[in-house]
Amino acid sequence: MAEAANGLPRVRLEVAERQLELGVERATEGNHGIVMAPLLQETGLISLDPGFLNTAACTSEITYIDGDVGILRYRGYPIEQLARDSSFLEVALLLIRGELPTAGELEAFETRIDKHMYLSDDFRQIFSVMPRRAHPMATLGAAINMMAGFYPESLDPLDPSAVSLATVLMVAKMPTIISYIYRRAQGNALLYPKHGQSYVENFARMTFQLPGEQFDAPEVFYHALETLLILHADHEQNCSTSSVRLIGSAQANLYMSVSGGVSALSGPLHGGANEAVLNMLTYIRDNEIDPKEFMTQVKDKRTSVRLMGFGHRVYKSYDPRAAIVKVEAAAVLEALGVKDELLDIAYEVEQVALSDDYFVERRLYPNVDFYTGIIYRAMGFPASMFTPLFALGRLPGWIAQWRERIVDPAGKIGRPRQVYTGPGLRDYVPMEQRR
Ligand code: CMC
């Protein structure tokens, strides 16, 4: 491949008789990007790429993935090291600010979060008007939107102090909101956060403590929760994050942008997959289906059955998060003394899939959602709460990406083009002449 003086590939496009030289944006790692903006002006053509298979919507300094070899790094740090050595709030700061905090900076952030976990009585009332059977993701999206109404001093996306406040309020109040969604569904009174408890301790206690009882969980419970939150904290330009960035590109406030991300995450092809995996494994167990027989259904293109928790747009060898979660799932179940036959079914389904040509040829491997539900279930969460837990983890990533987008000097409002394939010009037909 011919290279320009800067070491980047030279890109020449021939359109009819014209030769167009396109610039290339340098990546520090991974794919460089052809700058497509001049194409329309110079040739009258636009690029067509449904599903963004090949299109970068931005440059970003936050997260790096190499899907061919299973690499995931936040701000350069490998996910394996962060999952082992860091805490969720430390990772949140790393993603949002770009550097690991000092001990003092982390403590100051934790204190600020601790102070703001509380939700006012007015805010608490919004949970009582949602039907008990509402899906938690519907309530979560609504509650995050409502934050824009409750904290007007933190809305201006162009005011750094307002953005800083909105960041803290969102990270602080999200566990309280999610615990309230769960308690509302259970018909239990809402509890208050306690100063001095850690982020995950407060969340677990507000979620699970029963009236008149103490909530106590072993260290392995909190460790697993913290690990899962870290593993979900960012994943570059996935569907929900791209939604958050796109909404933010219109200078919508942080709450409304993140609420759009929650909506995207709820879909079963994205964050909703963790709930769908558990439903799938339960279906296999309850109907006594042989995993090999189930795979026949998955491979039959006449059905719409997919092997949930398998496949990824970017990972084509393995998902490094799934590798960590699989080990964690076995350890958590053992430590909590939980025997779950769904874990055995999951192992069996994975084995069958990994030795099946259909999956091998398409490079489909377990993704992060394949084993997470088994851990959440062992902790006591119902399947409908799995995707809100994903959202709790993903929040720092959404915030970091939104903030990067808001201050990006190259960031225009997001506005994709289309290739129109509808009817040409035609005249309105009066009703009586239509057939
Ligand atoms: N089960 C069966 N077939 C599959 C699966 C699957 N889980 N995933 C992909 N395929 C097939 C698909 O039918 C297609 O086959 P063909 O070439 O014969 O038409 C081929 O593999 C390529 O699939 P695709 O849908 O074009 O791939 P994509 O990159 O557009 O979709 C995906 C990625 C994650 C949406 C898809 O793999 C999928 O639906 N997986 C199941 C849902 C899931 O687990 N989602 C969680 C993703 S990870 C967490 C997150 O970030 O949200």
pLDDT in tens, 190-237: 999 999 999 999 999 999 999 889 999 999 999 999 999 999 999 999
Distances (CA, A) of 294 to 272, 301, 369, 424: 21, 13, 19, 46
* Dist. CA 272 → ligand 1 center (Å): 13
Cβ of 202 below 6 Å from ligand 1:
no
Cα(313)–Cα(238) distance, integer angstroms = 9
Dihedral sign of CA atoms 125, 131, 136, 140 in order: negative
Encode 103-130: b = buried (16+ Cβ within 10 Å), e = exposed: eeebeebbebbbebbebeeebbebbeeb
Give residue 221's pLDDT: 94
pTM beyond 0.75: the answer is yes
List the single range of 15-19, 56-60, 184-188, 277-281 with lowest mean pLDDT: 15-19
DSSP-assigned letter for residue 316: S
- Give yes or no for residue 367 having a pLDDT over 90: yes
- Give yes or no for residue 16 having a pLDDT over 90: no
- Chain position carrying tokens 């279906």: 283
The candidate with the shortest Cα–Cα distance to 373, out of 275, 306, 284, is 275
Distances (CA, A) of 125 to 181, 233, 370, 392: 11, 29, 35, 21
Q: Listing from the earlier edge strand, what are the strands of the sheet with 71-74?
A: 63-66, 71-74, 77-78
Cβ of 366 below 6 Å from ligand 1:
no
- Give yes or no for residue 304 having a pLDDT over 90: no
> Measured between alpha carbons, how far apart are the two ends of the chain, in Å?
58
- Give yes or no for residue 24 having a pLDDT over 80: yes
Cβ of 362 below 6 Å from ligand 1:
yes
Residues designated catalytic = 312, 369
Given the CA of residue 298, which atom of ligand 1 is nearest to it? Answer: 2
Cα(49)–Cα(55) distance, integer angstroms = 7
Please name the residue ranges forming H helices in 56-102.
79-85, 88-97
What is residue 127's three-state secondary structure?
helix
Which amino acid would we find at residue 13? L
Task: Give pLDDT tens digits for 143-194.
Answer: 999 999 999 999 999 999 999 999 999 999 999 999 999 999 999 999 999 9
For 279, other C-beta atoms within 10 Å of its C-beta total: 14
| 342 contacts: CB under 8 Å, gap ≥ 6 | 278, 281, 282, 285, 374, 377
- Give yes or no for residue 299 having a pLDDT over 70: yes
Can you say whether residue 75 is alpha, beta or left, with left for phi > 0 and alpha for psi between -120 and 50 degrees? left
CA 51 from centroid of its chain's CA atoms? 17
Give the helix/strand (H/E) hosting 174: helix 160-186
- Give yes or no for residue 4 having a pLDDT over 80: no
Ligand 1, atom 31: closest residue by C-alpha: 313
Residue-averaged pLDDT of the chain: 95
- Give yes or no for residue 31 having a pLDDT over 90: yes
Greatest Cα pair distance in the chain? 81
Cα(114)–Cα(192) distance, integer angstroms = 12
Which percentage of the chain shows pLDDT scores above 70?
99
Cα(369)–Cα(78) distance, integer angstroms = 19
Cβ of 391 below 6 Å from ligand 1:
no
Q: How large is the average pLDDT for residues 309-330?
A: 93
- Give yes or no for residue 104 having a pLDDT over 70: yes
- Give yes or no for residue 342 having a pLDDT over 90: yes
